[in-house]
Each structure stands twice: as structure tokens, then as C-alpha cells.
Amino acid sequence: MKAGLLTAIREVALGEMPDPKPGPGDVLVAVRSVGVCGSDLHYYLRGCIGSQVVEEFPFVLGHEAAGEVVAVGPDVRKLRPGDRVAVEPGIPCGECEPCVTGRYNLCRAVRFLGTPPVHGAYCEYLAVPERYAHPLPPELSYDEGAMIEPLAIGLFASDLAAIQPGYSVAILGAGSIGLVTLMSALAAGAGPVFVSEPLDARREAAKRLGATQVLNPRTDPVVDAILDATDGRGVDVVFEAAGSVEAHQQMVEVVRPAGTIVPIGSCAEELVPLPLASFRRKGVEVRFVRRFCHTYPRAIGLAQSGKANLSALVTHRFPLEDLAGAFRLLEDYSDGVIKPVVTL
């Protein structure tokens, strides 16, 4: 099968990989759309994300996938050829303590698409356990099906924050993850919602999607603006979705005493200086996001209902043959990009 191969740092090429074969309980999915994630870009630019290193080239990236079932293995019970599915990319072991206690997103033996050494979804076919190939309703396109993966993260973050109707929220960063967190928070009844984002197109998207106030951290005093808008109280919940040192340091400044902070973004720096005394004095609760857990079906339902506008994320489409172009676009933040999608 054809595959987009990472052949070296900053080098990708169209090549071939062996065709996968569905085993017992597996379905074979013909991939139609794959979102280009910031984590893919990290591997493209550096060959690693922290301790996760591409040890052997060529390597196939990509984990935000949707496609059509074209064959099924023995013991598949529900899915049939022709069914459209969104692929949940993490396959946990099912036996460790996190798995058996319901937190399979923390499984240390998880096989996650596009995370070394597991090849990813920039290819023509994937063999996936039926349990992790979620039926895609006819109202959603394959591109929107690929966006279920980021929406699952935003929904999981919103769950961790335990948002109640009327909660005030700040979202620092309005890339695709910040925007799906905005959708999830609004669906849970949050408001007002403040969004900070330096890129014009992403601020505009946040406003269109329902943000109460959007701020430019390059020109606006973000902390002062949020505190002024909340009469000095701060917001009930802060989501960090920028992956920047500055945004991590702003979290505690804009949250109210006894509020909740949910860091989602990954900093390029392994160590980030934080004012821990302020965290202690405010008595805040901090809940970190590790991917997602039990949110895929709900994310699909949220998108099907129209409460999550996934088409708003997809700004550019590239054929598999031009995977390098998608990476370059995302690296440069050019042409108003929010989310490029690779189509097959």
C-alpha cells in the first residue's frame, strides 16, 4: 500500500508499506482522511516528543483518521464492509491497573498510532480492533470523522474540569485543541468564555464558534482583561491549550481562588517555571490531560447534533503525495491554517 513516510528529520516521501491484514476481531479500514496534528509536526521537525523518539526510519506518522471498512476478520460482530468509521488511535493492553480501573488513556503499554514504534495513519489501510472503529453517522464527512480525535481531547478536558452551566472559562490558545475545548465547554453550558490567541484567523474562528471575548496576547494585557471582565474574581476554569511557557504561567493568574486549571498543551521545554506559591495560596485544583478516555462515542454524538462544528477546524486539504506541504504549512502557521487534512 502507499504510505507517507518520514524518512529523516524534515524529510517525507511517498513510499510503500506492507498491506495490513485484519486478525480476529479486527476490521480493515481504507483511510480517507487524516488530520495533521501538532504532535506529527514535532516528530517531523525533531524526530521526537520528549522521551518518545523515532528510532528507525522510515516511519509513518498520523493518528487522526477516518475511513471505510473494506474487510473484516473473524469474530467481528457489528461492523461490515462499507461502514464508515472514525478510528480511535490508542489500543490499550486491557490488563494493567489503569485499564482495569477505567483509565485506559494512562496505559503504559498502549499502542498509539503514529507514536514510535507504532506506525500511523498516513497510509491507505489500517487494521483496527472493531472496538476502536466507531461508526460515523451519515451527517458527518470523513474530514469531520478525522476531527473526532481532537474533539475527544477537548471533551475529556471539559470532563476533567467538571464544567457546570454558567461557569466562567478562559482558554489560552485557539489552535484546533483550544477550539474543540471551546466547543466542549460551551456544550456543557459554560459562559462567559475568554480565549487568548496570537493568530488572527484562530481568534476569528474562536469568535465565530461562540467565545465571549477574544484577546491577542501579543497586544492585549490578557491577565488584566480577564480579571477586569470578572470584577477581579478570575474564572472558574482555565484551560491551557497553547503549549507555551507564558500561557502556563498565566493559568494561575486568571483562575479564581479554589478554581480549576486544566493544562492540555505540551511545551517544547521539559521544565517550565511556575509560581507554585500562587497555586498554593489560591488552593487551586490542577488536572492534567493525557489524551482521552471513553469520549469517542460522545464526541461523535456532539458533532452529529451540531453542538460541535468540526468543519470549522479544517482549513486546508492535501493529497498524501503532498504530505510535506501540509507539514510546511503548519510549521509556518501560514495562510490562516488551523487544521490541514490529508486525503486519500
The CATH code of the domain that includes 191 is 3.40.50.720
Rounded Cα gap, residues 308 and 338, in angstroms:
16
Which pLDDT score, from 0 to 100, does residue 169 have?
98
Closest CA to 177 of 213, 204, 150, 207: 150
* 294: in domain: no
Looking at the fold, whether 114 and 207 belong to one and the same domain comes out as no
Classified as helix, coil or strand, 272 is coil
Of 271, 286, 301, which closes a domain? 286
Q: What value, to the nearest 5°, has the Cα angle with vertex 259 and ends 258 and 260?
A: 125
Q: What value, to the nearest 5°, has the Cα angle with vertex 126 and ends 140 and 88?
A: 50
Looking at the fold, whether 174 and 280 belong to one and the same domain comes out as yes
Half-sphere exposure of 187 (CA within 13 A, CB side): 24
Query: Cell digits for 143?
Result: 474530514
Contact at 8 Å (CB) between 170 and 196?
A: yes
Which pLDDT score, from 0 to 100, does residue 134 have?
98
Looking at the fold, whether 103 and 10 belong to one and the same domain comes out as yes
Looking at the fold, whether 174 and 139 belong to one and the same domain comes out as no
pLDDT tens per residue across all 344 residues of the chain: 999 999 999 999 999 999 999 999 999 999 999 999 999 999 999 999 888 899 999 999 999 999 999 999 999 999 999 999 999 999 999 999 999 999 999 999 999 999 999 999 999 999 999 999 999 999 999 999 999 999 999 999 999 999 999 999 999 999 999 999 999 999 999 999 999 999 999 999 999 999 999 999 999 999 999 999 999 999 999 999 998 999 999 999 999 999 999 999 877 677 889 999 999 999 999 999 999 999 999 999 999 999 999 999 999 999 999 999 999 999 999 999 999 999 99
Looking at the fold, whether 72 and 12 belong to one and the same domain comes out as yes
* 331: in domain: yes
E strands within the chain? 2-8, 11-16, 26-35, 48-49, 52-53, 64-72, 84-87, 90-91, 111-112, 125-129, 133-135, 169-172, 193-196, 213-215, 235-240, 255-263, 285-286, 314-319, 339-343
Looking at the fold, whether 155 and 107 belong to one and the same domain comes out as no
Looking at the fold, whether 190 and 208 belong to one and the same domain comes out as yes
Which pLDDT score, from 0 to 100, does residue 271 have?
82
Contact at 8 Å (CB) between 26 and 130?
A: yes
CATH number (domain holding residue 110) = 3.90.180.10
Domain count, the chain: 2
Looking at the fold, whether 121 and 155 belong to one and the same domain comes out as no
Close Cβ partners of 128 (under 8 Å, ≥ 6 residues apart): 26, 27, 29, 85, 87, 91
* 301: in domain: no
Which pLDDT score, from 0 to 100, does residue 269 have?
73
Write the DSSP assignment of 201-215 as a string of letters. Answer: HHHHHHHHTT-SEEE
Query: Cell digits for 179?
Result: 477550539
Strands 125-129 and 26-35, by their bridges, are antiparallel
Looking at the fold, whether 183 and 243 belong to one and the same domain comes out as yes
Looking at the fold, whether 103 and 233 belong to one and the same domain comes out as no
Looking at the fold, whether 249 and 323 belong to one and the same domain comes out as no
Looking at the fold, whether 236 and 107 belong to one and the same domain comes out as no
Rounded Cα gap, residues 129 and 326, in angstroms:
29
* 293: in domain: no
Which pLDDT score, from 0 to 100, does residue 290 have?
94
Single-letter residue type at 280: R
Rounded Cα gap, residues 225 and 41, in angstroms:
32
Single-letter residue type at 22: P
What is the number of other CB atoms lying within 10 angstroms of the CB of residue 333?
14
Contact at 8 Å (CB) between 154 and 181?
A: yes
For 200, the domain range is 151-286
Single-letter residue type at 3: A
